[in-house]
Chain A
Amino acid sequence: MSKGNGRPFRDANALLARADRIRAQRAKLKHEIRICAGPGCLALGARAIHEEFLTQISEHKAELKQAGLALNTTLAEKCTGCHGMCEAGPIVTLEPEGTFYTGVKPRDAKKIVERTLLKGELVDKRLYELGHQRGGGKVEKYADIPFYSLQVRVALRNVGVVDPTSLDDFLAAGGFRGFVRALSEMTPDEVVTAVEDSGLRGRGGAGFPSGRKWRSALRVKEDRVWLICNGDEGDPGAFMDRAIMEGDPYSVLEGMMIAAYALGATDAWLYVRHEYPLAVKHLQMAIDTLENAGLLGDDILGAGMSLRIRISRGGGAFVCGESSALMRSIEGRVGEPRAKYVRSVEKGLYDQPTVLNNVESFTCVPAIIDRGAEWFASMGRDKSRGTKAFSLVGKVKHTGLIEVPMGRTLREIIYDIGGGIIDDRPFKAVQTGGPSGGCLPADKLDLPVDFDTLTRAGAMMGSGGMIVMDDHTCMVDVAKYFIHFLIGESCGKCVPCREGLRQVHDMLEKITSGRGEDGDLEKIERLCHTMEVGSLCALGKSAPYPVTSTIRYFRAEYEAHIRDKMCPAGVCPDLIMYEINKECTGCLICKDHCPTEAISGEKKKLHVIDEDACISCGICMSVCKFDAVDIKSGGVIVSRDEAVV
């Protein structure tokens, strides 16, 4: 893991020459072991796997040498960013052949070294297995797995490919080609034109054309322009930016450097969410390396350009993802948004002109400059060009990180790439756009995913979180969840947002606890409208969407809660009861675990739950090994397929 040659690059040619040298070296590689060190795989023990590989390689040094494999010349190993298929972690891939091992354990390192590296055999047990509806069977190479073969990776191009701590690795993958081209072949104006022509729209959620933002910043006649990269990815269920910042920090910085060149900015901030310590670490390492390599600081690559990039760690406030609040937070103040009579390209950070883009937007820029605006614009649909990264989570089989051209349908994303719903249950809804987005029902599955179509359908693209829900998800509960989330995150400055959220939450609470009355839905709808038109910033204006979209598409479910005092999905604790069925073997496990001693019964005899003592905590159901606990709501069993309404 070399970190550059220690001397700053004198000019662009020196940088390109180094990239060529590294690529020539890499061409000798017979095998490269890539261990996924994304958050999912790390939590499942990727570090231990990496150590075990190193041990095994040194223990088998002689045999490997005989097979023509010497570490760092013909054999390499590295930890990369997230491969995306988090459900199958920890993931280990072998390049250049593309062998894909899933669910790897430390003890598998020995097998992989002995069998795959030395004998060229596969470790069958760790190969990816196709789902039964796709005919089953093992797949050897990840390029053949539908999850990967249907994706087009632009923003995620290096994530899972490069070692995020190595500049050499980034250079070998074509890093800084875009920056060098911009710096040596293009005028700032041409760079902005290229971004305009590419049709790139802000990937953080709003979808504002990045090129237009840059152009208006060029028109502002002030000496100083601030550049900010928004890495405050606050949407729950979204981790694309995290994966990029952790897995490919150099691309984010390269995008910022190109923007700085185009806009004449000399100072830039990277605002990274507090919950992402590894992203901060990798970005800081990358910044330090680039400073030493003469790619950041003064007189970059001898071309007279200066740029400093600093990191500001967020404080754990969702609203700071909003641009004006984010700028306040960088200034060391409370992150309250302001009304945008004057846009931040004119008066932003410290009341000076500021251009703010999201991590994914910046990451797309080097690819656009390197491969051309036409290439980027050739992907996508209507006014949404290029690709978009999504985190596909919830009740979907292949939870993980994906990137597809704009315009793919929800069905393609959820079923073809995501592999469908867990346990092949019925699809109920998909929530897009985070707390400001909306839920779309099954009849919208064939909608193409782009900025404008989703907005028209009452959801939104947002930053790219896509949460899939099955029939065991209660939509009223989901709406309540988002409103609860937003109550905590509203900055409290304007009344419609602060008080509106509380009132809506109280009414939803009333409904989910079985005290709903006729007319409640109409009241909620009126209040939501007030919030939409009266709130100061996008957080408040879009806050009602989760409620309005679920009322629009799942009104019957709300009405079941209000009229029949029933939760058809079997979720809302006040409306459900647990009941033991005749599958019960009398094993006493649930009785032992029940926190309120509501379960009575003897060994090998059917147990019974005392409804008065039961607090609907669900422990009995979670510990039962015999599927003997049912959920009842409104007198009907709702936890089993045959009774689902």
Chain B
Amino acid sequence: MSPRRAKRTDVDIENTRALEPKAGGTGAKAPPSPGKTKAGADGNELKAVDEVLSHYPAEEPSLIMVLQEINDRFNWLPPEAMNRVAGALDLPLAKVLGVATFYKALSLEPKGERTVKVCLGTACHVRGAGMLVDELKRSLEVEVGRGISPDGAYSLETVNCVGACAMAPVVVVEDNYYAHMEPGNIAKMLKKERPK
């Protein structure tokens, strides 16, 4: 019957980007480059995982929030990080993996520097979002949720609804919303967003 109290965290999504480990990039906005992330979690990264873990009580109810925060920092969940989490929360690794694979917000694959998200809400769908996905898959040479474009710049995801239906179809690149998109202006958008 004991109430399970999680420490409240300061939820400040707008600033989570700025909190990312500085190891990866020069600009505050640049997440770690895929090359670096792929190499796996080094000492610094595990330290970051431990820091995340220290914000939460070491019990099962913390699991999703811990994984979310780690995912926010690295853009994905490195295997070493999940091992560490399993150990710290005293859970079987299978349980951690089960949660990690169940929730869409958690990624088991490294991501490109920018994630292009195509909204597939119903409003976007009826206004032709499917064609945008096809075009992006073709021009980035990736699959939805899998792979990084050859230049390391982009990954592609679809989201169910970003709640900006008036602007349908919508494509979101990091924090920038592109309204009323058509297959014909995808190339222009990618050019504008490409990390310098």
Using CB atoms and an 8 Å cutoff, list the residues of chain A in contact with chain B: 39-40, 43-44, 86-87, 89, 224, 233-239, 242-243, 267, 274-278, 280-281, 284, 310-318, 329-335, 350, 352, 391, 393-395, 399-400, 431, 434, 465, 467, 469, 473, 478, 481-482, 485, 488-489, 491, 593, 595, 617-619, 622-623
Contacts and interface: CB of A to CB of B under 8 A. Distances in A.
Contact of A39 (B159, B164, B184, B185): B164
Contacts of A473: 126
A42 to B, nearest CB: 8
B161 A238 contact: yes
Nearest to B187: A593
B134 interface: yes
B163 A284 contact: no
B14 A277 contact: yes
B72 to A, nearest CB: 10
Contacts of B11: 280-281, 284, 311, 313
A619 B102 contact: no
Given A276-B163, A393-B122, A473-B126, A332 B14 contact: no
Contacts of B13: 277-278, 280-281
B131 A239 contact: no
A617 B135 contact: yes
Contacts of A44: 167, 179
Contact of B166 (A399, A467, A469): A399
Interface in B76-110: 98-99, 102-106
Contacts of A478: 122, 125-126
20 contacts: A237-B121, A243-B163, A274-B103, A276-B163, A311-B11, A313-B65, A315-B64, A315-B105, A318-B160, A332-B61, A335-B103, A352-B1, A393-B121, A394-B122, A465-B122, A467-B123, A478-B125, A491-B102, A595-B139, A622-B184
B196 interface: no
A599 to B, nearest CB: 13
Given A275-B162, A618-B183, A316 B134 contact: no
B60 interface: yes
A315 B61 contact: no
B68 interface: yes
A331 B59 CA distance: 10
User: Interface of chain A, helix or strand or loop or mixed?
Assistant: mixed
Contact of A234 (B61, B160, B164): B160
B194 to A, nearest CB: 19
Interface in B91-149: 98-99, 102-106, 120-123, 125-128, 131, 134-135, 138-139
Contacts of B166: 40, 86-87, 89, 393, 399-400
B163 A317 contact: no
Contact of A43 (B12, B102, B135, B179): B179
